[in-house]
Every structure is written in C-alpha cells, then in structure tokens.
Amino acid sequence: MVNPGPITSFNVQPSLFVNGDINTYLFSVQAVIPVLKGDGLTMKLPVDIGPPTTTTMNCQPRQNIVKMTCTVVDQTIFIVFDEFLSSSGAFSWTI
C-alpha cells in the first residue's frame, strides 16, 4: 500500500508504568482496509524518547501477524509485515 487507508484505532499500552525502566509496549491497530504482505509502518519517536537499539528491541507479532521485520534508524522505527494469518485490518505487535 503506497498510501495508507484510514486507521480507525491505534492504541499503545506499556507493560510497566515505572519511569526509567525498560518497557515493552503493545501496539494495536484497526485499519479500514486489510493490511497485506509487504505493507509497513514508520514510527518517528520524539527526541526526548530514547529509541530502542537493534540489540534491545524485541519486536514480536501478536494478533494476526505471523512474521514481521523491525529496524531502527536514529529516532525512527521501521516495521514491515511479512506474513499475516488472514487478510484483516486488525493486528497488533509488541516492541
């Protein structure tokens, strides 16, 4: 998908609420159109949030995603969805 379809819901939930601790975040998305193999997301983090490094980032598929690739460059996280369980607009992952 070159231009993203409407996203009706984008939710981020931390596993811990302790300031300064290493944390895992659950990202959940509901899109109007199905997401397909090869589609991706780019998330640019604010400067005051330290991005994960390649060694500390543990990007894991959750709902509807079988395989995904995550990379970090400076303040940007790039995610490519490699395989889905079904063609759906609902999916989630953890970082």
Per-residue pLDDT tens over the stretch 15-41:
888 877 778 889 998 888 888 888 888
Per-residue pLDDT tens over the stretch 49-75:
778 776 678 888 988 889 999 999 988
Residue 63: how many other CB atoms lie within 10 Å: 13
Torsions phi, psi for 67 (to 5 deg): -140, 140
Burial class (CB in 10 A: 0-12, 13-18, 19+), 48: exposed
Asked if the model's pLDDT at residue 2 lies above 70, the reply is: no
Q: What pLDDT does 95 receive?
A: 84
CB 61 within 8 A of CB 37: no
CB 50 within 8 A of CB 41: no
